[in-house]
């Protein structure tokens, strides 16, 4: 177990493992390389009491879900997990370790949502698939021994943005809200002229156009946060998108939404996937899991 990100990153480089750059590769090649990158973090997965793949109807076709249970207890509270990877990469296997450890650390069932990727599909497909998964789980969760009236939404990066967009949509529709949101290093502020080229490309694929968007449903930092559930926010201080997390915390404070912001020194964007080899990442995931369990416990009370 490495103690610093620098040590872990050097070991990764020494192993010849490198994240893909979709700006220099075509999308199929980039996904193949990124899958190899993700596979490195999902070697020798910890055991879990139950892992079940499901397929449910959705607005653009079937949606794949994966349900992890840390125990066979009769009924478990639920965390709905929405991955990062810039909307263009990843799947259920890419974040298996994160979901398994989240289930183990929280004592809750964890359901991953395999939303459709960009650029083949653009907003609002991804958000609407998260909403469809929540609707299906509320209607069918009891069949899988889940307490689903008010799950926690747990997202990282692009997935955190989807969680926030989904919560805003539920609020605006007057629908049942999650018990809370647990968000790592959200990318919720939209494209910025000063951002690195990759970040601008990611948003262009998601929105379907270049430049700034005024659509608050797609760029949730533009939205009014009043009426949202409590949130836990985590981000590394070396994250180039740290300003989005800080801006979200400021908006939650202004809207009087209970929240906690935790800053992690020396950690970059996307560090949670390192939880199997990097001690600070494992500790951060543990803190997030405790926050999710606390949201669910409070809701149950």
Its pTM stands at 0.97
Tokens 């494992």 belong to 282
Asked whether the CA dihedral 65, 200, 156, 256 is positive or negative, the reply is negative
Q: List all residues 6 or more positions away from 209 whose beta carbon is below 8 Å from its beta carbon.
A: none
Q: Return the pLDDT at 208.
A: 95
Q: What is the set of domains in the chain, with CATH numbers?
A: 5-300 (3.40.50.1820)
Give the chain's length: 301
**Using a CB cutoff of 8 Å and minimum separation of 24, what contacts does 253-259 make?**
254/225, 255/224, 255/225, 255/226, 255/227, 255/228, 256/226, 257/225, 257/226, 257/228, 257/229, 257/230, 257/231, 258/230, 258/231, 259/230, 259/231, 259/232, 259/233
d(CA 247, CA 243) in angstroms, rounded, equals: 6
Question: Is residue 245 exposed (0-12), middle (13-18) or buried (19+ Cβ within 10 Å)?
Answer: buried
d(CA 83, CA 47) in angstroms, rounded, equals: 21
Q: Read off the tokens for 205.
A: 């694929």
Q: Return the pLDDT at 172.
A: 98
Q: Read off the tokens for 290.
A: 């405790």
| Residues 151 and 170 sit within 8 Å (Cβ to Cβ) | no
d(CA 187, CA 135) in angstroms, rounded, equals: 25
The per-type count for the chain, helices as H runs and strands as E runs, is 8, 8
**Tens-digit pLDDT string for the chain (301 aa):** 999 999 999 999 999 999 999 999 999 999 999 999 999 999 999 999 999 999 999 999 999 999 999 998 789 999 999 999 999 999 999 999 999 999 999 999 999 999 999 999 999 999 999 999 999 999 999 999 999 989 999 999 999 999 999 999 999 999 999 999 999 999 999 998 888 999 999 999 999 998 888 899 999 999 999 999 999 999 999 999 999 999 999 999 999 999 999 999 999 999 999 999 999 999 999 999 999 999 999 766 5
Assess whether the previous peptide bond of 119 is cis (omega < 30° from 0): yes
Q: Return the pLDDT at 74.
A: 82
d(CA 280, CA 176) in angstroms, rounded, equals: 35
How many alpha carbons lie under 13 Å from residue 61 in its C-beta half-sphere? 6
Among the listed residues 119, 154, 106, the one whose alpha carbon sits nearest the alpha carbon of residue 134? 154
């Amino acid at each position: 177990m490495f103690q610093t990100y620098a040590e872990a990153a050097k070991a990764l480089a020494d192993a010849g493992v490198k994240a893909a750059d979709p700006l220099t590769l075509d999308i199929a090649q980039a996904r193949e390389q990124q899958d190899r990158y993700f596979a490195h973090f999902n070697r020798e997965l910890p055991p879990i009491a139950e892992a079940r793949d499901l397929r449910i109807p959705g607005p653009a076709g079937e949606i794949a879900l994966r349900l992890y249970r840390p125990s066979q207890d009769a009924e478990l509270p639920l965390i709905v997990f929405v991955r990062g990877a810039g909307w263009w990469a990843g799947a259920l296997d890419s974040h298996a370790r994160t979901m398994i450890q989240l289930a183990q650390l929280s004592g809750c069932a964890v359901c991953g949502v395999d939303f459709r990727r960009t650029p083949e599909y653009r907003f609002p497909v991804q958000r609407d698939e998260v909403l469809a998964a929540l609707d299906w789980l509320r209607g069918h969760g009891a069949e899988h021994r889940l307490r689903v009236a008010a799950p926690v939404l747990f997202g990282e990066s692009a997935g955190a943005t989807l969680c926030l967009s989904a919560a805003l949509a539920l609020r605006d529709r007057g629908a049942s809200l999650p018990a809370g949101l647990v968000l790592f290093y959200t990318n919720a502020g939209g494209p910025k002229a000063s951002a690195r080229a990759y970040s601008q490309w990611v948003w262009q694929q998601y929105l379907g156009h270049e430049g700034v968007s005024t659509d608050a449903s797609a760029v949730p930092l533009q939205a009014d946060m009043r009426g949202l559930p409590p949130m836990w926010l985590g981000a590394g201080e070396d994250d180039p998108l740290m300003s989005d997390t800080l801006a979200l915390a400021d908006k939650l404070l202004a809207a009087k939404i209970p929240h906690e912001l935790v800053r992690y020194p020396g950690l970059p964007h996307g560090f949670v996937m390192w939880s199997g080899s990097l001690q600070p990442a494992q500790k951060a995931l543990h803190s997030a899991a405790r926050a999710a369990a606390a949201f669910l416990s409070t809701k149950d009370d």
